[in-house]
Chains A and B, each alone.
Chain A
Amino acid sequence: MSLTNDDNMSAHSQVSSHFFEDLLDSIIVDVASECHRVARLGLDRNFEEEEEELRLSAQARARVADSSNNGETNSKYVVDIFGQTHPPVANEIFECMNCGRSIVAGRFAPHLEKCMGKGRKARLKVTRSATAAQNRYTRGSPGSSYSSYSNSTGMNRLSNGASSGVAGEEYSNGSFEEL
């Protein structure tokens, strides 16, 4: 039988689509068959783990919603995800590299502050044991802090009316009432 070109084309595309559907169906059956096998033989270990995890996460959520207050008051004995408890202050003891004393880890930072120079006492410690250059620096600093104090108050005074250029000279002379 003779088909026109158009008929041929549409017949072809029909056949092609049909064939494609056929292939797809057989692949679908393959996938279904494999999943069936896995399900029946219990080979999918992940499946049970997933179920377990879902259950645990639901439990955890319930616990959080339920007793969130308790968690805060019990912070001393907080349990992390590995089941370990941590004391609030770290226990380990080691030597401070600056002064050589044995310090508890949890108190190390405050110790270092005092030991290395954040506070006033620490700075005095430094000047006593320092070189000449360092001494000059530290002697300068109380002075500079004093003059900066006068500067600031002077600025306040000046803003009332005088020009800042003139005032600058008067600064260095130190001829200010504040002094």
Chain B
Amino acid sequence: MSAKRSSINRPPTPDVDRDRENQEPTLQEIINIKMIESGEKERLKELLRERLIECGWRDEMKSLCRKKGRNNVTVDDLVHVITPKGRASVPDPVKAELLQRIRSFLASTAT
């Protein structure tokens, strides 16, 4: 007896759970959307960019990239080179300032 083989081409039916999640966005998603819609995300990104330039973080990252050399580098390569050091070397006051802004935005649009 041969068992019925499920079609290999047909995508799996979404689970019931996943279905529910699709209808109910996570807090994260809600916040994200609100941030984008209000323009706050863009403002925060610019603020972070400015702070990181001021404190020399950007120059450090650029010199890391330069060290990688010029031959056949891809953006992916460079991202992988920078990301660990980049995440770790954000100065504490900068991070604190940004988190403060984010939290106050959350509080002001408390769901």
Chain A interface (Cβ < 8 Å from any Cβ of B): 11-13, 15-36, 39-40, 42, 44, 47
In the assembled complex, B87 has its CB within 8 A of some CB on chain A: yes
Q: Is the CB of B45 within 8 A of A35?
A: no
CB distance from A174 to the nearest CB of B (A): 81
Structural contact, A33 and B103, CB atoms closer than 8 A: no
Interface residue from B41, B66, B83, B95 paired with A35 (Cβ < 8 Å)? B66
| Given known A20-B95, A35-B62, contact A28–B45 (CB-CB < 8 A) | no
Give 4 new A-B contacts, CB below 8 A, not counting A12-B103, A23-B41, A28-B79: A16-B106, A32-B79, A35-B65, A40-B70
Closest to B73 in A: A39
Q: Contact between B83 and A28 (Cβ–Cβ < 8 Å)?
A: yes
Q: State in angstroms the CA–CA spacing of A45 and B103 once bound together.
A: 43
A21-B106 contact given A15-B27, A26-B45, CB 8 Å threshold: no
- Chain A residues with Cβ below 8 Å from B62 are 31, 34-35
A34: shortest Cβ distance to chain B, in Å? 8
A28 touches B82 (CB 8 A): yes
Docked Cα-Cα span, A28 to B86, in Å, equals 7
Whole-angstrom CA separation of A23 from B90 in the bound complex? 12
When the two chains form the complex, which single residue of A11, A19, A39, A42 contacts B35, counting CB atoms closer than 8 Å?
A19
- With A15-B106, A32-B79 already in contact, the answer to whether A23 and B70 are too (CB < 8 A) is no
Sampled A-B contacts (16; CB under 8 Å): A12-B107, A16-B106, A18-B28, A19-B32, A22-B32, A23-B45, A23-B98, A24-B90, A25-B83, A28-B79, A32-B65, A33-B78, A34-B62, A36-B74, A36-B75, A39-B66
- Beta-carbon contact of B44 and A23 below 8 Å: yes
Q: Are A36 and B78 in contact (CB under 8 A)?
A: yes
Residue of A nearest to B100 (CB): A16
Cβ-defined contact, B82 with A32, below 8 A: yes
Within 8 Å CB of B107, what residues of A? 12
Give the nearest-CB partner of A19 in chain B: B102
With contacts A32-B78, A36-B74, A39-B73 known, is A11 near B48, CB below 8 A? no
